[in-house]
Amino acid sequence: MPKRISESDIYQVLNHVNHPEIKNRNLVELGVISEVYMKDSNAHVTLALPNLQSPIKGEIIEAVKQAVAELTDNLIVDISVTEMNPDQRSAFLAIAREEHSSPKPGTHINKVIAVLSGKGGVGKSSVAGLLASSLRRAEYQVGILDADITGPSIPKMFGVNKSPEVSPEGILPVSSLRGIKLMSINLLLPDKDQPIVWRGPLIGGAIQQFWTEIAWGDLDFLIIDLPPGTSDAALTVMQSLPLNGVLLVTSPQDLAGMVVRKAAYMALRLGIPIIGLVENMSYIICPKCSTQIDLFGESNAEETARKIGTELLGHIALDSALSVFCDCGEIEKYYSEAFEVITNTVVQRLETMQMVTTVDVSLSN
């Protein structure tokens, strides 16, 4: 006769099923197990995930189904999935970031900024490189974590191609000509032209290792160059790393604005502050008459910023000189007065956001 199973039995077994990405916490304490009940010989389990599009949803479902099915023979396990409410999501993310927020011992990072775009081709990596270079000119200690695992371009822009060294403190990031610390998957490959053909969990794991196993040392700013879109890599960074804010990059086309809004809403749903929006490739300057030409049409950046409730920090021209500097690995030599203004605004907004958070915390206490 099959063993009679109760809801308590199911909860007990699920207390031993850990989250695939938060290794030291089980699904029950993370709030992922929303509801459990028995009906006849069927076990019904409802899962609550922070995001229904989570790339590890299938892995969690399979782990739960297998664990419950082993309780007794011929037990039918039905799994349904719902999305966490804002309070549940906040609690889950707080635990996730606590688990992953500790970098290598000896590493002290003051501010972590993710640079994100909705679609490719808008110059997100260029903006990340320019931001790091501008901050370094202001004598900040700066690092760049290249989280665009399948399309890494940061080493090329900075003219860095040597492999990282290993010290007693851990893996050392490679320094650029002007002292910006870099880490990218391309620096670890014997052949820089070979593609990275990895599924999402491997990409997420590599990004987390770049955070926890690299001896970054003392940094004022760590810039994270995310791949375009709202899939695995962006989700890993936003759920796992202690981000101070996200800098969004778009271009004048309404299509780019529409897609960057998706990225913005993802950040907001995950409780990540948006620092502001930068419009890249806004215009070109005629080399003969100095007339400004809106090469990609009228800008929609103001409207995009308004819709996502943030500030347009500035417009960046499409400049062939920047392409030349990037191709030569000398992005640090490129200077743009417009981008210097953007950098100053980013620093000021981060300070303001920190002050607001501090005030909110003190009032809540």
Lowest-confidence range among 95-99, 138-142, 164-168?
95-99
Question: What tokens were used for 303?
Answer: 């409207």
Taking Cα atoms as reference points, which of 58, 55, 54, 67 lies closest to residue 26? 67
Same CATH topology for 7-94 and 104-364: the answer is: no
How far is the C-alpha of 142 from the C-alpha of 182, rounded, in Å?
9
Taking Cα atoms as reference points, which of 114, 358, 349, 102 lies closest to residue 245? 114
* Residue-wise pLDDT tens digits, 169-204: 888 999 999 999 999 988 887 766 676 656 666 777
How far is the C-alpha of 113 from the C-alpha of 221, rounded, in Å?
7
pTM for this prediction:
0.77
Element (H, E) at 248: strand 245-250
Q: What is the CATH number of domain 7-94?
A: 3.30.300.130
Residues in CB range of 24: below 8 A, 6 or more apart: 18, 99
Q: Is 7 exposed, middle or buried (0-12, 13-18, 19+ CB in 10 A)?
A: middle
How far is the C-alpha of 298 from the C-alpha of 143, rounded, in Å?
35
How far is the C-alpha of 153 from the C-alpha of 166, rounded, in Å?
23
Q: Give the residue-averaged pLDDT of 134-154.
A: 91
The one-letter amino acid at 109? I
Start-end of H helices in 23-147 = 57-69, 86-100, 124-137
More confident: 214 or 149 = 214
Are 313 and 350 in contact by the 8 Å Cβ rule? The answer is no
CA gyration radius, the chain: 23
Residues in CB range of 317: below 8 A, 6 or more apart: 281, 282, 283, 284, 285, 336, 338
Instruction: With cut-offs at 50, 70 and 90, classify the pLDDT of residue 325.
Output: very high
How far is the C-alpha of 168 from the C-alpha of 182, rounded, in Å?
19
Please list the residues that pair with 365 across neighbouring strands: none
Residues in CB range of 204: below 8 A, 6 or more apart: 21, 55, 232, 233, 235, 236, 240
Q: Give the residue-averaged pLDDT of 294-311.
A: 86
356 has a pLDDT exceeding 50? no
Are 143 and 223 in contact by the 8 Å Cβ rule? The answer is yes
pLDDT for res 201:
65
Q: Which CATH superfamily is domain 104-364 in?
A: P-loop containing nucleotide triphosphate hydrolases (3.40.50.300)
Instruction: With cut-offs at 50, 70 and 90, classify the pLDDT of residue 130.
Output: very high
Question: What tokens were used for 309?
Answer: 């409730």
pLDDT for res 2:
58
Q: What is the DSSP string of 144-160?
A: EEE--TTS--HHHHHT-
Domain ranges within the chain, ordered by starting residue: 7-94, 104-364
* Residue-wise pLDDT tens digits, 261-298: 888 988 888 888 999 999 998 888 887 887 888 877 78
Q: Tell me the pLDDT of the chain averaged across its residues.
A: 86
Residues in CB range of 260: below 8 A, 6 or more apart: 117, 118, 119, 122, 248, 249, 250, 277, 304
- Determine what percent of the chain is predicted with pLDDT higher than 70: 90
Give 306's Cβ-side CA count (13 Å radius).
4
260 has a pLDDT exceeding 80? yes
Q: Give the residue-averaged pLDDT of 344-357.
A: 79
How far is the C-alpha of 235 from the C-alpha of 55, rounded, in Å?
9
DSSP state of 80: E
